[in-house]
Structure 1
Amino acid sequence: MPEAGVPIARRRLAVAGAFATQGFVFIGLTTRLPDIKDRWDLGELGVSAVLLAIVLLAGLGSVVAERLAPRTSSAHLLRAGLVLVGAGAGLMLAAPVWAAYLLGVGVYGVALGVVDASTNMQAVAIERAYGRPILPSFHGGWTFGGLLGAATTLAMADLDLGWSALIGVVAVAMAAAGFLPREASRAFDHAAGGDLPGVPWRPILMVGLGMVVFYMVDTAAQTWGAVYIDEVLHAPSRWVALATLPYLLASLLVRLAGDRLVQQYGAVPVLRVGAVVASAGLVVVSVAPSWPVAVLGFTVVGTGISVVAPLSFSAAARIAGGSVERVDAVIARFNQFNYVGGLLGAVLTGVVGQDQLRFGFVVPTVLVLALLPLARWFSTPSTAGVGAAVSSSGRPSARP
């Protein structure tokens, strides 16, 4: 267990590594969907059913995280979740029988919710310590991990699916990292305490709708992109993961620049421009005559949509205010919007596109424009006095 005096910069690096690990495992699974689909002889509706189960179980995992947040450090929740993510993903990929595969789905689904909630709890606490927007670059860590996951799938394209189960080892190893302990996060917490009944849920709900839109688009692209260019546009099997790889690369670049973009221009214009860009990209995907054109469309989508999720968590934490325990509980509950978007993106895309998957991408093309009116709820006031500044030594110091 790391000591309490560890510089905040090292805590930030550890949490970024957890985001990267989550992205690595998730994309390692989704880019293998065509192989999983073939192994178990699943149709589009069958894949939609599995994805629905994962989304619902992840929602359950997020509820578990919310219930445990008042009395359990998010660092402990994150470690437990990472171990279970590794075990569940490994079982999904290496399962010799259908029952074992379903067990892997169950374990991975619940763990996904726990890790989603706890990584963002950690990130929000560290953002409070820095006193400025840094959530986009944290989510950039997730995207970087996703890029590695897609690249790993490309590198292992000729190997049996069971070898992919090794990606689970990465998650188990990451559980040993030095995450931010609750006693350290309290040192950065200058807001007044408060119970959940005092949370202003209406503005949080509006921000949450923005996150629903993001995950609807993101999950449609990452879950169905590989299947789309494989079965509809007939990409060579070795290049199927390219549906995800350029999308993630574009997302990574924008997220790494996102901290500075939001500081310079504000969240509202960044979100509105991104919504228009993402919609245009989805139009290209929907009408693409060939798989390279669809890959270009997915790349444009990633450029436009990528900063919505981190700005959503940051805005929700700011609106909630109060103690570390209060913010952790709100972030875990807010994380449920993730799975509503996942349902719309993964399941609705498959259902609408069951006869012609091309039509499935029309839904997110239209709904992503809802970010235009919703963006005003993300407006961020000056961060002066909100948290703690980080000194040149890498340790937090009180902001005057």
Structure 2
Amino acid sequence: MPLLNKTEARSSAADTVTDPSAGPRAAATVTRAPRTWSAARLALTAFFAVDGFLFAAWVVRIPDVRAQVHASHSALGLALLCISAGAVATMALVGRLCLRYGSRRVTVGSVALLSLAVPLPAHTHSVAALGAVLLLFGAGYGAANVSMNSAAVDLVARLRRPVMPSFHAGYSLGGLLGAAVGGLLAGTLSTAWALALGGVLGLLVTAAAGAVLLRDPDGDGPAPAASPAAGTPRTAAAPRHARLLVVLLGLTALCTAYGEGALADWATLHLTDDVHAGAGLAAAGYAAFAFAMTAGRVSGTWLSIRLGATRVMLFGGLTAAVGMLIAALVPSVPAALGGFVLVGIGLANIFPLAIGRAGATGGPQGVATASALGYAGMLIGPPVIGFLADAVGLPFALTSVAAAAALAGLLAVTVGRPQRTA
């Protein structure tokens, strides 16, 4: 019988209790399995969902805000860049705040800030004022994403199950709901009222879910070592090696976000201009991608348990690459839509698993570094596709998404470490 190391012994002791019905002479024990859907996990999923909802609620109102401030396309682009600037500038600081005050407390404060910032763009009347409030919006959004992912990494380690994709599925579902509700109410509610109600909803969810999250007796204390099945093992690597792993994981996230950003801006145009789809089918292209990504994240935990995180990321990257090549190069509407579905399924779990591994390797600072790199991918994707489209045409420009997806899968293999079982 193999000997347990100290960490395993502590974990085993924590998961067993003496059975009083066994009598004084018997030493029977009953093993307690960790609850996979604890109150803390539900509360944290609610934070992810409301984060996606609030961002989508803002996105569907961008045309109205643009008309309100009388912005040109270039001026609006500069104002929207302030969201990214605020997010990236905040991420490193939030990582340190999570270490000092705990990821859960910072999550509650960050989502509250985001909820308060959402209504502000509707009350601006100049591009400069819009850029200023979007800096605040971006700061809240970036802080929320780092702190939520840091809290999720700790919870994944406690559950000892690879549930990281389920949190990001909550974000995707929240985004789809926010876009749907925002679109339905566009002709009924003014921009000011719509964003104000979104902010109120965000504050209500923050109050309710925050009370549950902060009341959890385990809080932000040290988590037990994760099992190999969890997909996010705590590493004992030297600091320099750990930093290199975090950067590689951040580059993996960057390659994934590059594809997400590119498809968000260019999928519809590709379907209308290159594949000659009608307006309705063209709109369905990005919707198919978004729904496929959500479905992929819902099944991400199941896949990670059965295949392992590294295989999920590798196969996902290769699947997305094949799907993007089909969507970009086959001049057929059904083929393009099917290709977008494959891209969504393939990319779905790479980003959350990469962020989860970065957190397991480098803690909140690891999450902050990988998130900042990933967010950079979403920023550079649309303009790079635009420049390439001018040079070689949009279909061939979109093949860069396939290359990035394949690179993400290969990077996942590079940073994957074989797990030894006791």
Q: Judge same fold: TM > 0.5, yes or no.
A: yes
Cα shift readout 1:45-96 (whole Å, capped 9, x = no counterpart): 5554344332222111112202322311222211221122223332234534
* 1:92 partner letter: P
CA contact (8 A) 2:245 2:415 kept: no
Where 2:161 maps in the other structure, the secondary structure is: coil
Please identify the structure whose Cα radius of gyration is greater.
2
CA deviations 1:346-397 (Å, max 9, x no partner) are 4433554579766653432332221242121353655979xxxxxxxxxxxx
Given candidates 350, 354, 359, the residue that maps to 1:312 is 354
Asked whether the 8 Å contact 2:256–2:405 carries over to 1, the reply is: yes
1:134 pairs, out of 153, 163, 169, with 163
CA contact (8 A) 1:207 1:377 kept: no
Give the distance between the partners of 1:50 and 1:271, measured in 2 at CA.
Answer: 34
Give the SS at the match of 1:186: coil
Letter in structure 2 aligned against 1:336: A
Q: Which amino acid is the alignment partner of residue 298 of structure 1?
A: F
Is 1:107 paired with 2:141? no
More displaced 10-residue stretch of structure 1: 117-126 or 284-293: 284-293
* Structure 2 CA distance for partners of 1:316 and 1:246, relative to 1, 3 Å: same
C-alpha separation between the residues in 1 aligned to 2:421 and 2:140?
36
2:378, 2:358 → 1: CA distance?
Answer: 19
Corresponding residue for residue 268 of structure 1 = 310
Aligned to 2:51: 22
Q: Secondary structure at the match of 1:188?
A: coil
Q: Does 1:214 align with 2:259?
A: no
Could you say what secondary structure the match of 2:187 adopts?
Answer: coil
Aligned to 1:185: 220
Backbone CA RMSD of aligned residues: 3.6
What are the within-5 Å matches in structure 2 for residues 144-183 of structure 1? 144-159=173-188, 160-165=190-195, 166-176=197-207, 177=209, 178-180=212-214
1:186-205 Cα distance to aligned partner (Å, 9 max, x none): 25345999999566112222
Aligned residue number for residue 392 of structure 1:
none
2:410 to 366, 373, 377: 373
Which residue number corresponds to residue 97 of structure 2?
68
Is the alpha carbon distance of 1:366 and 1:230 closer, same or farther for their aligned partners in structure 2, counting shifts above 3 Å? same
The one-letter code matched in structure 2 to 1:334 is A
The whole-number CA distance in structure 2 between the counterparts of 1:267 and 1:185 is 25
Distance in 2 between the 1:362 and 1:109 partners? 30
- State the Cα distance separating 1:259 from its structure 2 match: 0.9
Contact 1:51/1:346 (<8 A) preserved:
no
Match of 1:363 in 2: 400
Corresponding letter in the other structure for 2:151: Q
Gaps of 5+ in 2: 1-34, 227-233
CA contact (8 A) 1:82 1:174 kept: no
Q: For 1:53 and 1:289, how far apart are their aligned partners in 2? A: 37
Deviates more, 1:344-353 or 1:82-91: 344-353
Moved more, 66-75 or 17-26: 66-75
Alignment check: 8 A CA contact 1:271 1:308 kept: yes
The higher-RCO structure (CA 8 Å, 6+ apart) is 1
Structure 1 residues 94 and 380: alpha-carbon distance in aligned structure 2, compared to 1, 3 A threshold: farther
Moved more, 159-168 or 301-310: 159-168
Cα gap change, 1:336 to 1:383, in 2 (>3 Å): farther
What is the number of equivalent residue pairs in this alignment?
Answer: 371
Secondary structure of the structure 2 residue equivalent to 1:55: helix
Instruction: Report the Cα distance in structure 2 between the residues aligned to 1:35 and 1:227, rounded to whole angstroms.
Output: 21
Equivalent AA in structure 2 for residue 42 of structure 1: S
Q: Secondary structure at the match of 1:132?
A: coil
- Aligned-residue sequence identity (percent) comes to 25
Moved more, 279-288 or 169-178: 279-288
Q: State whether residues 267 and 378 of structure 1, in contact with CA within 8 Å, keep that contact through their aligned partners in structure 2.
A: no
Residue 330 and residue 196 in structure 1: after superposition, are their counterparts in 2 closer, same or farther (change >3 A)?
Answer: farther
Query: Counterpart amino acid of 1:377?
Result: T
Residues 126 and 143 of structure 1: CA distance in aligned 2, closer, same or farther (over 3 Å): same
Shift of 1:168: 2.6
Describe the shift of the 1:349–1:21 C-alpha distance in structure 2 as closer, same or farther (beyond 3 A): farther
Distance change >3 Å, CA 258–CA 99, structure 1 → 2: same
Name the CA shift for 1:374/1:196 in 2 (closer, same or farther; >3 Å): closer
Q: Which amino acid is the alignment partner of residue 217 of structure 1?
A: G
Distance in 1 separating the partners of 2:421 and 2:50 = 32
Structure 1 pair 168–32 and aligned structure 2 pair: CA distance change class (3 A): same
The answer as to 2:385 corresponding to 1:349 is yes
TM-score (norm 2): 0.75
Question: What SS does structure 2 have at the residue aligned with 1:175?
Answer: helix
Cα contact 2:310–2:413 (8 A) shared by 1: yes
Q: Closer, same or farther in 2 for the Cα pair 1:349/1:49, shift >3 Å?
A: farther
Partner of 2:18: none
Instruction: Give CA-to-partner distance per residue, 1:280-300, whole Å, 9 cap, x none.
Output: 333455458688876554333
In structure 1, runs of 5+ residues without a counterpart are 1-6, 321-326, 386-400
- Counterpart CA distance in 2 for 1:16 and 1:350 is 35
Q: CA deviation at 1:227?
A: 6.9
